[in-house]
Chain A
Amino acid sequence: MQVDFTLSFTDNQWICYNDTIEVQGDSLDEIDENLAMIFKSKYKNEPVNVTMLFDFDYFPQWHRQYMSHYFNRNLTFNLNS
């Protein structure tokens, strides 16, 4: 199972969202744990591959002349463990 998310940051919290799921967390680990809980109920024991693309619009306009990319993440959630 492949699930894609956009990742952003607001009010000192990470936000991970797509059309159907949105989770927040103080850290990326917390985001991952929150997603794992949702996946467990939604996809049972099936491994889930997740892509998170950081939304660079978070950065102020004047930063974009120096760099235009923050980071992407690729994770595999093994829900059996």
Chain B
Amino acid sequence: MSTTYKKWHNGMFTTEDWWSAWLGLFFFALGLLSIWQIDAVGWIAKPKTWEFTNLINDFSWSKLIKTSSTNYKDWHPLTTFFFTYFVFLSLTTIGAYFQGRNIKKWIFGFTVLFFLTWLVWILGYEAHFSAIDAEIKGKNYYKIFDLSWSLQLGGGFSFMLALTVGLIIGNFFKGFANKIKEAAKPEWFIKTAIVLLGIKLGMMTMKASSFTYELALAGAAAAFVAYLLFWPIIYYVGRRFFKLNRAAAAVLSSGISICGVSASIATAGAIKAKPIIPIAVSTLIVVFAMFELVILPPIFSNIAPNQPIVNGAALGMTVKTDGADAAAGAILDELMVSKHLKDTNERWEEGWILSAAILTKIWIDVFIGIWSFVLAIIWIRNDKKKTKHKEKIIWSEIWFRFPKFVLAYMFVWFLYLAMMYFAPDIVSDAKIGGNITQGTFRKFLFMLTFLSIGVITDFSKLKGMGRLTLLYALALFGFIAPLGYLIAYIFHHGMMPPILK
């Protein structure tokens, strides 16, 4: 057996990319049933803000977990928890089966990841970590629990804790990490979450349509400019100062300057490099993406606390891989919204900073196929001088390299736009389910991503990478990050998230 792609529909049920679209669209469709007053998503469990001494003095599961809608309020917290587990395990196992995964390993790995994720999620909602001394949706948990101190990190603490736990497992308990790696698929989880983020973008467009369009266009323009600047410079430095061959320099340039692993594989494929090159580069990218994810959100939020959208877009251009970028965007969103609320008592609507990070990255993802195609033409033209046989340009390569989850994300967004323009009467009902799918479902998938991305990141793999590591580090922190920030500033400065009353 081999895995090849010849027809446009090949891979529709066997690749993670497509399964992100299917799973995201399935959850989206479940949420839409609220148009007909059917609550098919409110069963999903969500964590509650709790306080340690309060829980110890009078333990109750209902202090930790609740359903996402009042339609299921009679369910015991453990019922909603195990039902959530069953639904996610079943759906992802179906996907894993079609992708040819080892199902026994998948079920074991996913079960461990699910329970660990929830443990961390609940811990992160302890009031001393999360509660902000301000009123949110009519409640001030800082005052409710009579706290004397709190880190006031909102939901961001859970994200950081999940990442930390994942990294500890991935680097100090490697045997255990190998046992659960079959199900540690951050890209699948995050791409599914991004599809659901299309709902959020749709709702944001309803609220502030011109701003949302502006954000999308600015993201496209910034990504395009970044491509044109980053790639040639990194290629030149790789060739001139690090003496890399053409193929290695091109693959590394795409990996560092565009979108990490997918770009390096796409580029290597386009120029028909030996596949060992993108495999080596990918290892480097995944490890560095972790540094970017950990370091950049706190730096950006502290250096420019009044530039939330610029910060988000800059992450989109700097942090490689969709998973790490979305994770960094989510941390930045939580950190900046919480900090702004704490400092000014003014509450930015959450999700805009994350959307800025995601939109920039999505444009970058979309451009990968086109950029690779351009490179393929250049390489084929160049090779024509040497070879006797006529090689044709294959247009379908653009489609095979196109990220399919983006289609689902756009579909969800445009469907909300269509509702807004053509069926405004159903929008408020659609939002009931939509708020849960883009809220609890998406956040749970983000939590799974954080833990999984930590589990698969093994820092020891940097050993022996030599000059590639040096070039990557120099290019990233000395060039890509500052220039990416400048480009983000040029296209996004002045944009601010809406303020919630």
- Interface set of A (CB-CB < 8 Å, partner B): 6, 8-9, 12, 14, 28-29, 32, 36, 51, 53-60, 62-78, 81
Q: What is the 8 Å Cβ interface bit string for chain B, positions 368-403, against chain A (1 contact, 0 not)?
A: 000000001000000100111111101011001100
The answer to whether A67 and B261 have CB atoms under 8 Å apart is: yes
Which residues of the partner chain A approach B388 to less than 8 Å between Cβ atoms? 32, 36, 78, 81
B5 within 8 Å of A by Cβ? yes
Residue of B nearest to A63 (CB): B282
User: Do most interface residues of chain A lie in helix, strand or loop, or is the interface mixed?
Assistant: mixed
Which residues of the partner chain B approach A69 to less than 8 Å between Cβ atoms? 5, 11, 269, 397, 400-401
Most chain B beta-carbon neighbours within 10 Å: one of A55, A57, A62: A62
The answer to whether B6 and A72 have CB atoms under 8 Å apart is: yes
B447 within 8 Å of A by Cβ? no
The answer to whether A57 and B2 have CB atoms under 8 Å apart is: yes
B16 touches which one: A65, A73, A74, A77 (CB < 8 A)?
A65
A25 to chain B, nearest CB (A): 11
Residue of B nearest to A60 (CB): B279
The answer to whether B275 and A70 have CB atoms under 8 Å apart is: yes
Which residues of the partner chain B approach A58 to less than 8 Å between Cβ atoms? 275
Residue of B nearest to A50 (CB): B389
Q: How far is the CA of A42 from the CA of B280 in the complex (A)?
A: 39
The answer to whether B389 and A71 have CB atoms under 8 Å apart is: no
The answer to whether B6 and A36 have CB atoms under 8 Å apart is: no
The answer to whether B392 and A74 have CB atoms under 8 Å apart is: yes
Q: How far is the CA of A53 from the CA of B272 in the complex (A)?
A: 12
Which residues of the partner chain A approach B279 to less than 8 Å between Cβ atoms? 59-60, 63
A54 touches which one: B4, B186, B389 (CB < 8 A)?
B4
The answer to whether A63 and B265 have CB atoms under 8 Å apart is: yes
Which residues of the partner chain B approach A51 to less than 8 Å between Cβ atoms? 6
Residue of B nearest to A49 (CB): B392
B303 within 8 Å of A by Cβ? no
Q: A6-B2, A59-B265 are in contact. Are A66 and B260 (CB under 8 A)?
A: yes
Q: What is the 8 Å Cβ interface bit string for chain B, positions 170-205, against chain A (1 contact, 0 not)?
A: 000000000001000111100000000000000000
Q: How far is the CA of A60 from the CA of B3 in the complex (A)?
A: 12
